[in-house]
Chains A and B, each alone.
Chain A
Amino acid sequence: MTRSLKVAALLAFTSVTKGNFRIALLTMLILILVALNLLFVPGLLDGLAWGANDKLINTYSGDLLIESDGANHYIANVDQLMTAIEQIDGIDSATARNYLGTEINFEGKYTGAAVFGVNPDTEKNVFTIADYIIEGSYLNTDDTDAILLGVQLAGADRPDLELYSRSLQNVHAGDRVSISYANGIEKEYTVRGIFYTEFIQTDLQAFISEKEFQSVAPLLTNNASTIHIKTIKGANTEDIINQILSTTNDVKVMTWEDYAGLVHSMTASFNIIEVIMDTVNLLVAGITIFIVTYIDVAHRKRQIGIQRAIGITPAAITLSYIIRAIFYAIISLALAMLIYKFGIIPLEAHYPFHFPFGDVYLRMIPFVLIRTALMLFIVSIISALLPVHGVIRTKIINAIWG
């Protein structure tokens, strides 16, 4: 085996250094394109899923979410529960929300919305909505005459918004809007600020302070419709859920993944798309490499015949083509990685793809890198092996003299 390996290495080395440069270049070019495609598609889909998940967690659900599990739609004794929750190891912060269905009116235009009563201080600990204010400012704890509107409700004179036509269209910070609550109360508020997270579900929300909400719905004091939790990075989610459930009954605790069916199904669809695209990509690559190798091997048929005639074993000859294929795959993969990391990723970061939940950035995932390398090696080896195997099976005299 060592002898075959040494001979194969010599044949492969001389074939690479002294062989047909154009064929080598063509093979590597195809492999680079395949590798880039194998890196780009999952990188983009992962960037998409990551971007959507990030927005969902940081502006909509939090890492964990508590809802009432009983007949009552509200979580009772929220103050005590919040105190208990904040003591649990692995929890960074928590915020409670209450909401009522409303209709918002501005200069004769109406739109339906859920208005949430929130504690602005704890909200800022769990969510990053405050970072997405595009007009005015965020709520204060003592605000009783102010409302914070998502851009998909306000419109803010941005006709390019996805839901602009069903929004209030021209509302800006400082405008007065009137709210009709589901419990019959009507009030007017000054728009304190407008936020634009680019996550549509979040941008359809409106917020008033907890203090104001209690004045509108006094019966819901010390109740909450949801409690949103931010966990410390790396914390054991299952352990935290068990600890929360041990402190109170009649609640259910969900992870952001449980809560966000949309993102969950989107990620699952991305995985299917990725498998299909990878399969097609590899098939095309495999066939192309096979054709290039086949032409190359056909060109070298006589050389292979001579090698066999002088006593070089079929195993050594086959191994030389495998080594060559692996060499081309390694060089191509390395070049593709460099191009992807130092060319495509920075370029895309400069001109990012824009999706409904914000800009999407390409990612370089170690698992995808390893998988790409493996797939490329396997395709290269099989594509090299098949034509060589054909020539090896030919009679020596036919290989040499046709």
Chain B
Amino acid sequence: MIKVQKLTKIYDMGKVKVKALDGVSFNVVNGDMLAIMGKSGSGKSTLLRQMGLLDLPTTGRIFLGRYEVTRLAESTRAGLRLKYLGYVFQEYALLGELTAHQNVYLPGMMLNNKGKDYKKRATELLKLVSLGKRVHHYPKELSGGEQQRVAIARALINSPKVLLADEPCANLDTISSGMVMETLARLNQDMKVTIIFVSHDPSDKQYARHILTLGDGKIISEDGSPA
């Protein structure tokens, strides 16, 4: 379970202070598929970055299971990102000098659990996201949808408890978007991975078990009911 308690994030822009998150609290149960919806600037991506341990909140707390992970040292956060969290970025964020296969197995190589063959698993994951024939292609040789599916496979390499996806379809056409979202839904259903995704596209609601809607850094509704 992920527990978010009174999370606030204030960006200090010199003379101006911008409150991106304002006392956000909610829980995510294991195996959930949560959609964080809202207009542009509502604080969706900021919330996901705090949960993905990519940024530190100004106040508030985040729990992964029983452990608070809000203000850990960067090396510990890096370890948690590697072991327990998978992160899919809006703009694919693949490493351009690595092949699809290398992009996927790199975090596995970093973790390198004994008995796990990360290269073999990377191949399997690429097959799972229907890219079995694009294993040795470089990102620039792949379409946007294919790159995003490579990013999903990369996020899954270390069998994370939680997969966080920040507007994974924002730069994709309708067909590619559908493939990516269906892939996420399949992973949630088949592999029981907790998935939290951010989207501003109302049609993505169909893939979610629960929906959280943000407005001006606050939760304005949960599953359609006002907070």
Binding site for B on A (CB under 8 A): 3-4, 6-7, 10, 14-15, 17-19, 303, 306-314, 316, 395-397, 400
Closest 6 CB pairs of A and B: A311-B82, A18-B97, A14-B97, A311-B81, A306-B93, A396-B54
Question: Given A311-B81, A314-B74, is A397 in contact with B110 using a C-beta cutoff of 8 Å?
Answer: no
Which of the listed residues B79, B97, B106, B107 has the most CB atoms from chain A within 10 Å of its own CB?
B97
- CB-CB under 8 A from A310, the residues of chain B are 81-82, 87, 106-107, 154-155
Return the contact of B110 from the options A18, A306, A312, A400 (Cβ within 8 A): A312
Return the contact of B111 from the options A15, A17, A311, A396 (Cβ within 8 A): A311
A3 lies within 8 A of B54 (CB): no
Interface size class of B (residues with CB under 8 A): 20 to 34
Question: Given A396-B55, A397-B55, is A3 in contact with B98 using a C-beta cutoff of 8 Å?
Answer: no
A7 lies within 8 A of B74 (CB): no
Interface string of B89-102 (1 = CB under 8 A from A): 10001111110001
Question: Given A311-B81, A396-B54, is A3 in contact with B112 using a C-beta cutoff of 8 Å?
Answer: yes
A316 lies within 8 A of B55 (CB): no
Q: Does B72 contact A (CB under 8 A)?
A: no
- CB-CB under 8 A from B112, the residues of chain A are 3, 6
- Give B154-185 interface residues, CB cut-off 8 Å to A: 154-155, 158
B109 lies within 8 A of A313 (CB): no
Q: Does B227 contact A (CB under 8 A)?
A: no
A312 lies within 8 A of B107 (CB): yes
A395 lies within 8 A of B55 (CB): yes
- CB-CB under 8 A from A15, the residues of chain B are 97
Q: Does B78 contact A (CB under 8 A)?
A: yes
- Within the complex, the shortest CB–CB distance from B12 to chain A, in Å, comes to 12
Shortest Cβ distance from B54 into A: residue: A396
**Please, could you name 11 A-B residue pairs with CB atoms under 8 Å apart, sorted by A?**
A3-B110, A6-B109, A6-B112, A14-B97, A306-B94, A309-B87, A310-B154, A311-B83, A314-B74, A314-B78, A396-B54
A14 lies within 8 A of B98 (CB): yes
Shortest Cβ distance from A14 into B: residue: B97
Return the contact of B54 from the options A10, A303, A309 (Cβ within 8 A): A309
A10 lies within 8 A of B102 (CB): yes
Binding site for A on B (CB under 8 A): 49, 52, 54-55, 74-75, 78-79, 81-83, 87, 89, 93-98, 102, 106-107, 109-112, 138, 154-155, 158
- Within the complex, the shortest CB–CB distance from A16 to chain B, in Å, comes to 9
A311 lies within 8 A of B55 (CB): no
- Within the complex, the shortest CB–CB distance from B104 to chain A, in Å, comes to 10
Question: Given A3-B112, A396-B54, A396-B55, is A312 in contact with B106 using a C-beta cutoff of 8 Å?
Answer: yes
A400 lies within 8 A of B93 (CB): yes
- Within the complex, the shortest CB–CB distance from A297 to chain B, in Å, comes to 14
A307 lies within 8 A of B97 (CB): no
Alpha-carbon gap, A397 to B75, bound state (A): 16
- CB-CB under 8 A from B55, the residues of chain A are 395-397
Which of the listed residues A4, A309, A395 has the most CB atoms from chain B within 10 Å of its own CB?
A309
A303 lies within 8 A of B78 (CB): no
Alpha-carbon gap, A141 to B46, bound state (A): 102
- CB-CB under 8 A from B158, the residues of chain A are 311
- Within the complex, the shortest CB–CB distance from B62 to chain A, in Å, comes to 16
Alpha-carbon gap, A18 to B95, bound state (A): 11
- CB-CB under 8 A from A306, the residues of chain B are 89, 93-95
- CB-CB under 8 A from B78, the residues of chain A are 308, 311-314
- CB-CB under 8 A from A309, the residues of chain B are 52, 54, 81, 87, 89, 93
- CB-CB under 8 A from B87, the residues of chain A are 309-310
Alpha-carbon gap, A353 to B82, bound state (A): 62
B49 lies within 8 A of A397 (CB): yes
- CB-CB under 8 A from B102, the residues of chain A are 10, 14
- Within the complex, the shortest CB–CB distance from B136 to chain A, in Å, comes to 13
- CB-CB under 8 A from A396, the residues of chain B are 54-55
- Within the complex, the shortest CB–CB distance from A329 to chain B, in Å, comes to 21
- Within the complex, the shortest CB–CB distance from A74 to chain B, in Å, comes to 81
B97 lies within 8 A of A314 (CB): no
Alpha-carbon gap, A317 to B177, bound state (A): 32
- Within the complex, the shortest CB–CB distance from A331 to chain B, in Å, comes to 18
Alpha-carbon gap, A311 to B112, bound state (A): 12
Shortest Cβ distance from B86 into A: residue: A310
Which of the listed residues A6, A303, A306, A313 has the most CB atoms from chain B within 10 Å of its own CB?
A306
Alpha-carbon gap, A396 to B78, bound state (A): 11
Which of the listed residues B81, B95, B98, B138 has the most CB atoms from chain A within 10 Å of its own CB?
B95
- Within the complex, the shortest CB–CB distance from A397 to chain B, in Å, comes to 5
- Within the complex, the shortest CB–CB distance from A396 to chain B, in Å, comes to 5
Which of the listed residues B87, B102, B106, B155 has the most CB atoms from chain A within 10 Å of its own CB?
B106
